[in-house]
């Protein structure tokens, strides 16, 4: 894995979102971001969180449906 991806992952998970033990985190990305998604997933687990992947074609998601899912989570990355 590119070390820059891992550094970005630590910034997102540890600082920007500050994932804590027991937090549920949605990781939302296009398929192009799969390397970053994998790294974020692993980091959330290391921090004691519960990652949930949402790999989507953004054109297929309605704003209402996305908002309903996201409101039930601690964080969305």
CATH code, domain with 7: 3.40.1830.10
Separation of alpha carbons 50 and 53, rounded Å: 10
pLDDT higher for 32 or 70?
32
**The pLDDT of residue 70:** 59
Number of domain units in the chain: 1
> Residues 3-51: pLDDT tens digits?
999 999 999 999 999 999 999 888 887 777 788 989 999 999 999 999 9
Residue 32 domain boundaries: 3-76
What span, in angstroms and rounded, lies between the C-alpha atoms of 21 and 48?
Answer: 4
Q: Per-residue pLDDT for 71 more than 70?
A: no
| Confidence check: pLDDT of 57 > 80 | no
CA 12 to each of CA 1, 27, 40, 58, 63: distance values in angstroms, whole numbers, following the listed order: 17, 11, 8, 21, 23
Tell me, what's the pLDDT at 34? 83
């Amino acid at each position: 894995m590119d070390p820059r991806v891992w550094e970005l992952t630590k910034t997102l998970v540890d600082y920007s979102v500050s994932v804590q033990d027991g937090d549920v985190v949605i990781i939302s990305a296009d398929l192009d971001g799969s390397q970053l998604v994998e790294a974020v997933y692993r980091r959330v687990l290391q921090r004691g969180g519960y990652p949930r992947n949402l790999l989507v074609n953004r054109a297929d998601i309605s704003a209402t449906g996305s908002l309903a899912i996201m409101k039930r989570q601690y964080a969305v990355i």
